[in-house]
Structure 1
Amino acid sequence: MSDRRRTFRQPCELIGHIYMPHSDAFSNECQILDISSHGAFLRPSPNAQLPPTFDLVIGDSNTARPCRLARINSEGFGVEFLDPVRTEIEKALMEAAFEEEILFDLIAGVSIDASTSVARLRRAVAAMMDIVEKRNEMTWQQSTAA
């Protein structure tokens, strides 16, 4: 599995708290076994059931990270951190450059999946996210070297 990951996962022993969005339920504590900038592997309390998306608070942080359940096995749950920056970039590009093209495709009867404009939008978002991720890695590497 590790050969498909975008970045190396660092083994760790952290406590996390799982919060269900739009729920008054208390958090579920979990153990974080490994972590990277893109995701983590969690061992929740026995019999814990996770929804497809939830928020994860790592350690004593006050910041919740939105997550998507990526895989389940007998050891625990693999999660992907959802990046709100990606959504913001996609929305900005849509409004600034692709909205009319995609609208024309839809009017012409082209499905979203077959739209070349949507494919171009996704490539542009991926390219910008690569830049953001590389800059974040450089910042992290500089701060750990100090």
Structure 2
Amino acid sequence: MITNGTTSVLPPPHNITSTSTSTSAAMKIIVFACLAALTTAAKLENNPPVAILHENRETDGAGNFRYSFEADNGIQVESSGSTGSEGQIIMQGRYQYLTDEGKIIEVNYIANEDGFQPQSDSIPTSHSSSPSRPINFAAQRQPPQQRFAFQ
């Protein structure tokens, strides 16, 4: 209410309604967001914290490093790296973890100018993409004149 001398002026009713409507919409959005957060949080597993048993980092300032890490849940990481001749990082190392079934998965790797190259008995291998005997596709193809000839 605005007082101007002896006259009181109320704001138009539509302002009260629009403020009330936007407040109501905002409250609905907040309630919906809270319910969504609770639903998402309920789905998360309640895993206990993981203790770090060992962590070591070494660098020499010239781009060479060594890193190792071990947690009480079976995760282990060892990595070392150096700078290559063209400034790229060359790394090698290994990591291991336990599956839900209790199996230890160990992966050794090299990462260099040819990319990340993991090696492990647990990594599926693809079959050779080259056939056992070469196929001469050029000999099997018809010349373009024969393929499009009208008969």
Shorter-chain TM-score range: under 0.3
TM-score, scaled to structure 2:
0.21
Q: Which has the larger radius of gyration?
A: 2
Q: Per residue, is there more helix in 1 or in 2?
A: 1
Q: What is the TM-score of this pair, normalised by structure 1? A: 0.21
